[in-house]
Amino acid sequence: MALAAEVELRVRRLALQNALEHEGTPRAGPILARLLSTDASLRSSSHELEALVRAVAGSVAGLSKEEKSTALAALGGPEQAAARAPARVGGELPPLPGAVDGQVVLRMAPFPSGGLHIGSARMIFVNDYYRTRYRGKLLLVFDDTIGSEEKRIDLALFDVILRDLEIAGATPDAVYYKSDRIPLFYPWARRVIDRGGAYVCRCPAELLRENRAKGQACGERAQTPGQTVDEWEKMLAGGYAQGEAVLRLRTDLHDPDPAFRDRVLFRISDLDHPRVGHRYRVWPLLEFSWAVDDIELGITHVIRGKDLVMEDRMQEHLWGLLGLHGPPFLHWGLLRLREAKISKSKSYLEVKSGQYDGWADPRTWSIASLDRRGISPEAMRKFTLSFGLSLADIEVPAETLYAENRAIIDATTPRRAFVEDPVRVDVDEYPPGLEHVPLANHPEQEHLGRREVAAGPGFWLPRADLARSAGAEVRLKDLMNIRLPPDIPAGAAGVRATFTTRENRKLPRLQWVGVEGAVPVDLLGLEGEHRSGIGEGALAQAGPRDIYQFERVGFVRVEADWRPGTGPVRVVFGHP
């Protein structure tokens, strides 16, 4: 869709402002973040908006400083801070059909093959929203019916999922395990058989696929209920090996959707279950277990992804066969973060092999990993609910989530200096009285106070900045100006520079850390990489899980298991 002309004007205004603030090329990320956080209506056009921001940023980069200033003035000058206040999630999600206050019962049903991740956010936050809205109950029903050789259940993941829900602020009112409920499903299967709704099928898989495609019945489909009962009891008694027989639902063999024709209700498995071992060999398929549990657990509404519409049909068919009325279904479309390449099976292998640092590794994009990075549950919740219950599949940049988090934590997050790949620079003719300077903990929040920071004459400066500015006069941010030597060897451990003036002139600004009291820092990135650097002395007093903004880097969170005096300050990158 085409973006409105006023949006294009605002993009240009913000790009010019950003370029002047940073004395160079405008940064597309912060511009996009400001737009998405102050105007939620733009989120549905995030692809087009991002392309526009990058195009305008590119055109602005080529302007001189004077041209940028003139152009910004013509557009009304800089956008003020008040206009950057985050937009609240507007309105409410639609009401649940027939919902009665205090009587709503909802359920989440994750399969324990991995931690909950940002792709699970709608399951978590939409259900929890309605639980709160109607003062109802939210049940966690682990879908731990037996998996497959490729998709195994891991005992440790039950606790991982419970912890993820705790982090998200969506602790369930009760917890159930399908593996504890297997005997309850057998009488329901008998009721379906007695109604003539199922038969035991021993067709080879290939023959079955051919018959379903052609709408043809297999020989066993002609079984009477009595014959099926005998075959069913034989299944339960161990008379068939794994893969030899299944209990199959009778549906219309000419149904327009071949996948709905005579689907499996129960199968035989000899796999070892991590909770119940080999206690059961005949296991229900998830659709059957949901049809039973949604009745027995008193579920009033089922809210889940639109990819489960087939399962809806199965449940409704079974309820109709048994003369029951089950809860209504509501659905949402897929919600993706563009940068989040999520695969539970891949993450499981990487975690088990030790390549990933557990389920909280940033590469999993799990709820635990987002928490580890300093992304608040409130931001996850607002981000998720802002898209409502749209059936459309939505893909947005991660910056959309980051904008929500930035709006929540920015005003209370102190700034700290960090220099990656540092080179020592000693400044000649250093002015007396500048060995320590007071710096604000936040440029716009005076109530956060100030801190005393060690300055020169010795500084740590980023090697990349030195290489770009060799021989030039530069400004050490918020401090003074120096002239760098014209020749800075690539592998230099240290160089000397010369003080020029304290005047705040328009010069390239370099981040710095005073040598005195500086502390080593290990920064874990989003791809699992570790970046080494030097942080200002105040970081020595950091505490576990503290959040800071590393100037010109982004928001970081101190690792939960780090303690002062135990080596480099270990932090995890959150977002720009």
Identify the pLDDT of residue 2. Answer: 58
Cα R_g (the chain), whole angstroms: 30
- What is the reported pLDDT for 208? 79
CATH architecture of 422-438+451-512: Beta Barrel (2.40)
Residue 419 phi/psi, 5-degree rounding, is -125, 120
> Does residue 123 contact residue 108 with C-beta atoms inside 8 Å?
yes
The alpha helices in 323-418, defined as continuous H runs, are 344-353, 367-372, 377-385, 398-409
Reference 339, options 358, 356, 364; nearest CA is: 364
Q: What is the DSSP string of 213-257?
A: HHTPPPGGGG--HHHHHHHHHHHHTT-S-TTT-EEEE---TT-SS
**Owner of token pair 């030899």:** 244
E strand segments, 159-257: 174-177, 198-201, 246-249
Please list, residue by residue across 70-89, b when 16 or more beta carbons sit within 10 angstroms of its beta carbon and e when fewer do: ebbeeeeebbeeeeeebbeb
Q: Which ranges of the chain have pLDDT less than 70?
A: 1-3, 21-24, 29, 33-34, 36-41, 43-44, 46-47, 76, 79-91, 147-150
- Tokens found for residue 520: 């080593």
Which residue reads 């956008």 in tokens?
Answer: 79
Classify 495 as helix, strand or coil: strand
Give me the half-sphere count of Cα atoms (radius 13 Å) on the Cβ side of residue 164.
31
Query: How many Cβ atoms are within 10 Å of 351's Cβ, its own excluded?
Result: 24
Query: Got the DSSP string for 5-58?
Result: HHHHHHHHHHHHHHHHHTTSSPPHHHHHHHHHHH-GGGGGGHHHHHHHHHHHHH
The answer to whether 208 and 243 have CB atoms below 8 angstroms apart is no
CB contact at 8 A, 492 and 422? no
Q: What are phi and psi of 358, to 5 degrees?
A: 75, -175
**pLDDT score recorded for residue 79:** 65
The long-range contacts involving 4-7, CB below 8 angstroms and separated by at least 24 positions, are: 7/35, 7/42, 7/49, 7/52
Which residue is associated with the tokens 């060995």? 435
Entry pTM: 0.83
CA dist 159 and 115 (Å) reads 9
pLDDT of residue 71: 79
* Residues 76-97: tens digit of each pLDDT: 677 654 333 333 334 479 999 9
For the chain, the structural domain boundaries read 5-87, 99-330, 422-438+451-512
Instruction: Write down the pLDDT at residue 206.
Output: 81
Pairing of strands 105-108, 137-142: parallel
Nearest CA to 409 out of 255, 547, 232, 265 is that of: 547
What kind and span of H or E run contains 61? Answer: helix 46-61
Torsion sign, CA atoms 202, 206, 210, 213: positive
- How do residues 417-454 score in pLDDT, each as one tens digit? 999 999 999 999 999 999 999 999 999 999 999 999 99
* Phi, psi dihedrals of residue 43, rounded to the nearest 5°: -65, -30
Return the biggest CA–CA distance within the chain: 101
Q: Which phi and psi angles does 308 have, rounded to 5°?
A: -105, 20
The amino acid sitting at 149 is: E
Q: At what angle do helices 46-61 and 5-21 cross, to 10 degrees?
A: 50
Class of domain 99-330: alpha beta
> What whole-number distance in Å separates Cα of residue 372 and Cα of residue 53?
30
